Amino acid sequence: MVLPSLLVLLSACGGSMAAAVARSTTPRARDGTCTTILQRRAWHTFTDEEKRAYIDAELCLMAKPATLGLKGTKNRFEELQWTHQHQSNIVHNVGAFLPYHRLLMWAHEKLLREECGYQGAQPYWDEARDAGKFSTSDVLDPVTGFGGNGVGERGCIVDGPFVNFTNSLGPGYRIGEDHCIYRFVNDNISRQAARSFIDECYRHTTFARFWPCAEGSPHSGGHGGVGGKMLDPISSPGDPVFYLHHTWLDKVWWDWQALDLPARLTDISGRNTPGGGGFGGFPGGGNGTNPGFPWGNGTFPGGPGGGNPWRNVPFQDMVPPADAPGPEGDPGNVTTLTHILKMYGVVPDATIADVMDVRGSLLCYEYVDA
Ligand SMILES: *[C@@H]1O[C@H](CO)[C@@H](O)[C@H](O)[C@H]1NC(C)=O
Ligand SMILES: *[C@@H]1O[C@H](CO)[C@@H](O)[C@H](O)[C@H]1NC(C)=O
Ligand SMILES: *[C@@H]1O[C@H](CO)[C@@H](O)[C@H](O)[C@H]1NC(C)=O
Ligand SMILES: *[C@@H]1O[C@H](CO)[C@@H](O)[C@H](O)[C@H]1NC(C)=O
Ligand SMILES: *[C@@H]1O[C@H](CO)[C@@H](O)[C@H](O)[C@H]1NC(C)=O
Ligand SMILES: [Cu+2]
């Protein structure tokens, strides 16, 4: 079963197998300020001790009281989630999609390290390796990973280190309703995380063509393959797996940038406000001409589309609130380097220019291929 909008994504980004594209090269340091380079590695290459250290730091973030007065947040982990929930209407289906999520991953890594004693780097989920078999992945391991699939109508996870975490942001824009981490793992959808979809995106040589492709299948394969909280386009950072998923997508973007340096350190474009209000990259999420939910009807298990709020985020909870922010620092319709990425005090706001280079003056990391 594949929704029309997914077929659109499949035909836009899928199709014939691309020749394998060379991956991550190591670019030279550019302004000399990035000297201690964090090595971001795949979760499945972590030792059990490394996995434990990361998970312990995440649990620490979840246990640390909120400090910023962001409405409805109880802890530091939710403060990160709040920045995503609050502005999800302007960080998806737009040119700032990849830059904003890059900054969010970095902020998460920074909090783990500076506030929770984590010594390592943010890991990524090698989703291409697990495409079609998320259910047996190392990431969703009940003992050494993030816990497995959800159970029952609510899809609450029943094992793993986050089984007792109570999240109060979501579904959609709702706040103040405590809920478990819930999942509806779907290995049919997780096939869209396959390497062939990524190679297809790498055939595009401009950001204008690359970003919608990346937000399509590789991105939706991760969200839809886990399902549940991860399929909530607005509050999905309530499942800690979100950070491994979006770090993977960040690697996909960086590996594409690294194919043509330095040119791709300044290549940015894309619309500033989602055309028609769509949430491309989520099943049922539509595209620039087709708004998708909340006005269309997705029927994926665990996906948006109405009915049971824990299974399908109801339409009314997908509608941006009246005080939803608009883009800043970018007066035109096309996303530029001066576009401001707002972090509401979790970390300082940054511009897109600040996050174009992972070894620049703000960010300082690199990706190690698995
Ligand atoms: C979750 O809470 C239950 C009940 O208090 C406790 O027995 C269990 O050890 C907790 N599990 C984790 C992973 O914290
Ligand atoms: C996956 O696809 C197969 C074959 O099309 C189908 O029988 C099965 O029900 C699907 N599983 C899920 C969870 O959608
Ligand atoms: C957007 O979705 C509609 C409806 O599924 C489809 O007809 C249209 O071709 C899509 N547009 C793009 C740019 O993918
Ligand atoms: C989607 O479902 C809602 C609620 O059932 C309904 O009001 C709406 O008309 C449907 N929209 C479409 C495009 O089918
Ligand atoms: C931006 O797009 C809107 C809607 O398509 C259009 O009305 C407006 O003139 C555009 N503004 C600029 C500066 O291009
Ligand atoms: Cu997102």
C-alpha distances out from residue 290 to 9, 66, 207, 228, 293, Å: 12, 38, 22, 23, 9
Question: Which alpha helices (DSSP H) does 43-122 contain, by range?
Answer: 48-63, 76-86, 88-91, 97-115
Minimum CA distance residue for ligand 5 atom 9: 333
- How many domains does the structure of the chain reveal? 1
Classify residue 14: in a domain, yes or no: yes
Minimum CA distance residue for ligand 1 atom 5: 164
Q: How far apart are CA 17 and CA 107, in angstroms?
A: 35
List the CATH number of the domain containing 258. 1.10.1280.10
How far away, in angstroms, is 219 Cα from ligand 6 center? 9
How far away, in angstroms, is 333 Cα from ligand 5 center? 6
Does residue 188 line the site of ligand 2, with CB under 6 A?
A: yes
Closest ligand by atom to 291 CA? 3
Q: Enumerate long-range contacts of 172-176, CB under 8 Å, 24 or more apart.
A: 172/232, 172/234, 172/235, 172/313, 172/314, 172/317, 172/318, 173/85, 173/234, 173/235, 173/317, 173/318, 173/319, 173/320, 173/321, 174/235, 174/309, 174/317, 175/71, 175/72, 176/72
**Which structural domain range is residue 289 located in?**
6-367
Classify residue 1: in a domain, yes or no: no
Q: Which residues pair with 39 in a beta bridge?
A: 366
Q: Considering the entire predicted model, what is its pTM?
A: 0.84
In degrees to the nearest 10, what's the CA dihedral of 85, 90, 91, 97?
A: 170
Q: How far apart are CA 131 and CA 187, in angstroms?
A: 8
Classify residue 175: in a domain, yes or no: yes
pLDDT (tens, 9 = 90+) of the chain, 370 residues, equals: 233 333 233 233 333 333 333 333 344 446 778 989 999 999 999 999 999 999 999 999 999 999 999 999 999 999 999 999 999 889 988 899 999 999 999 999 999 999 999 999 999 999 999 999 999 999 999 999 999 999 998 899 999 999 999 999 998 899 999 999 999 998 988 998 999 999 999 999 999 999 988 988 888 889 989 989 998 889 999 999 999 999 999 999 999 999 999 999 999 999 887 654 455 556 555 544 444 543 334 444 445 555 566 766 776 777 778 788 889 999 998 999 999 999 999 999 999 999 999 999 999 999 999 9
Contact predicate 129/140, CB 8 Å: no
Classify residue 330: in a domain, yes or no: yes
Classify residue 133: in a domain, yes or no: yes
How far away, in angstroms, is 188 Cα from ligand 2 center? 6
